[in-house]
């Protein structure tokens, strides 16, 4: 088995995007009187822009709002979105993806360190991770607040490895998307990609393994992740 497994959060540990982040963005637009509403399909296309603030600013610019004003509105709307989604995360109603809890339990029982690398904000990610992974301590958690460059930049994974004190060959990354995969590969990690409805068509070149589910057709195990190590 690997020494550590570094999990992405959004789309990987939980299906947070369609009924979670997207809804919080739309509520924040309404609270600020911004005439925007992201439907499910459109939001899926916007997911290639990582970072909620950057996603809002890019969509405003695309609709003709000038660069500086777009950044300004995006910062204010995103602060509200972060507060709304943090309350949702703390409520404990977001379940892990099927099979995640069993995999994490198998890894822990074999002494594998569990870690997290997300470029989402700590304010919501920290309580969500605690709800998804339980109260046991984890090796490290890297948040968007900890890095200058979001995924697909490898900075978040490099920082996770540095904090764990491990070379990339002793850890495996688990991701759901093309940008996440590129971030993990950029840090030299063998990467398992478990896709979801939004990421099935992403370019997943370079993944050590691609699946659509953690538990079908058979449950992913610690041994299975160990076989992906370089
Ligand atoms: C997740 C993201 C995030 C979330 C929103 O990508 O791109 O921006 O959609 O979170 P990944 P914030 O799973 O690759 O980390 O609003 O906090 O940015
Ligand atoms: Mg993800």
Cα–Cα distance for residue pair 160/136, rounded to 1 Å: 18
Encoding tokens for residue 112? Answer: 């594998």
Q: Using the atom order of ligand 1, give the atom closest to the CA of residue 11.
A: 13
- Per-residue pLDDT of 163-199, as tens digits, reads 999 999 999 999 999 999 999 999 999 999 999 999 9
- Per-residue pLDDT of 108-150, as tens digits, reads 999 999 999 999 999 999 999 999 999 999 999 999 999 999 9
> Above 90 in pLDDT, residue 151?
yes
Reported as a pLDDT band with limits 50, 70 and 90, residue 230 is confident
Residues 161 and 212 in one domain: yes
Residues 126 and 60 in one domain: no
The answer to whether the CB of 80 falls within 8 A of the CB of 52 is no
Residues 112 and 63 in one domain: no
Q: Considering the chain, what is the average pLDDT of its residues? A: 97
What integer pLDDT is reported at residue 38 of this predicted model? 98
Residues 208 and 222 in one domain: yes
> Which spans in the chain are helix H?
22-31, 40-46, 52-62, 67-90, 100-109, 122-133, 155-164, 178-186, 222-226
Task: Give Cα separations from 22 to 10, 86, 174, 197, 215 (angstroms).
Answer: 12, 13, 23, 14, 26
Residues 113 and 184 in one domain: yes
> How many CB atoms neighbour CB 127 within 10 A?
18
What CATH number does residue 115 fall under?
3.40.50.1000
Residues 139 and 173 in one domain: yes
Residues 84 and 105 in one domain: no
What integer pLDDT is reported at residue 22 of this predicted model? 98
Domain extent for 160: 4-15+94-226
Residues 104 and 207 in one domain: yes
Q: Using the atom order of ligand 1, give the atom closest to the CA of residue 177.
A: 14
Task: Give Cα separations from 66 to 48, 74, 78, 82, 205 (angstroms).
Answer: 21, 12, 18, 24, 36
What CATH number does residue 32 fall under?
1.10.150.240
Residues 115 and 220 in one domain: yes
What integer pLDDT is reported at residue 198 of this predicted model? 97
Q: Which residues pair with 114 in a beta bridge?
A: 5
Q: How far does the centroid of ligand 1 lie from the alpha carbon of residue 47, in Å?
A: 8
Q: What are phi and psi of 125, to 5 degrees?
A: -70, -35
* Residues annotated as catalytic (active site), given as ranges: 8, 10
Residues 80 and 100 in one domain: no
What's the number of domains the chain is made of? 2
- Per-residue pLDDT of 74-100, as tens digits, reads 999 999 999 999 999 999 999 999 999
Of 90, 106, 138, which one is at a domain's C-terminal end? Answer: 90
Residues 100 and 207 in one domain: yes
Ligand found nearest the CA of 118: 1
Residues 11 and 54 in one domain: no
Give the residue whose CA is nearest to atom 8 of ligand 1: 51
The answer to whether the CB of 108 falls within 8 A of the CB of 4 is no
Burial class for 32, CB neighbours closer than 10 Å (0-12, 13-18, 19+): middle
- Per-residue pLDDT of 47-62, as tens digits, reads 999 999 999 999 999 9
What integer pLDDT is reported at residue 113 of this predicted model? 98
Q: What is the mean pLDDT of residues 150-173?
A: 98
Burial class for 91, CB neighbours closer than 10 Å (0-12, 13-18, 19+): exposed
The answer to whether the CB of 143 falls within 8 A of the CB of 121 is yes
Evaluate: CB of 8 within 6 angstroms of ligand 1.
Answer: yes
The answer to whether the CB of 108 falls within 8 A of the CB of 136 is yes
Q: What is the ipTM of this complex?
A: 0.93
The answer to whether the CB of 124 falls within 8 A of the CB of 100 is no
């Amino acid at each position: 088995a690997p020494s550590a497994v570094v999990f992405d959060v959004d789309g990987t540990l939980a299906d947070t995007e369609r009924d979670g982040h997207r809804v919080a963005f739309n509520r924040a637009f309404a609270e600020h009187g911004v005439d925007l509403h992201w439907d499910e399909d459109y939001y899926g296309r916007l997911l290639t822009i990582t970072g909620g603030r950057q996603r809002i600013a890019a969509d405003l610019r695309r609709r003709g709002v000038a660069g500086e004003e777009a950044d300004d509105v995006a910062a204010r709307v995103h602060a509200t979105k972060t507060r709304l989604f943090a309350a949702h995360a703390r409520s404990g109603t977001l379940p892990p993806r099927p099979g995640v809890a069993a995999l994490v339990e198998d890894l822990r029982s074999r002494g594998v360190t569990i870690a997290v690398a997300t470029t989402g904000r700590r304010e919501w990610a920290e309580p969500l991770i605690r709800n998804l992974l339980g109260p046991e301590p984890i090796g490290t958690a890297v948040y968007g607040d900890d890095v200058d460059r979001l995924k697909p930049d490898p900075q978040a994974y490099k920082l996770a490895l540095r904090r764990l004190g491990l070379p990339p060959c002793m850890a495996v990354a688990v991701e759901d998307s093309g940008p996440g995969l590129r971030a993990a590969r950029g840090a030299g990690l063998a990467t398992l990609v478990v896709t979801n409805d939004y990421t099935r068509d992403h370019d997943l070149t370079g993944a050590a393994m691609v699946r659509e589910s953690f538990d079908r057709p058979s449950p992913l195990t610690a041994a299975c992740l160990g076989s992906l190590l370089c």
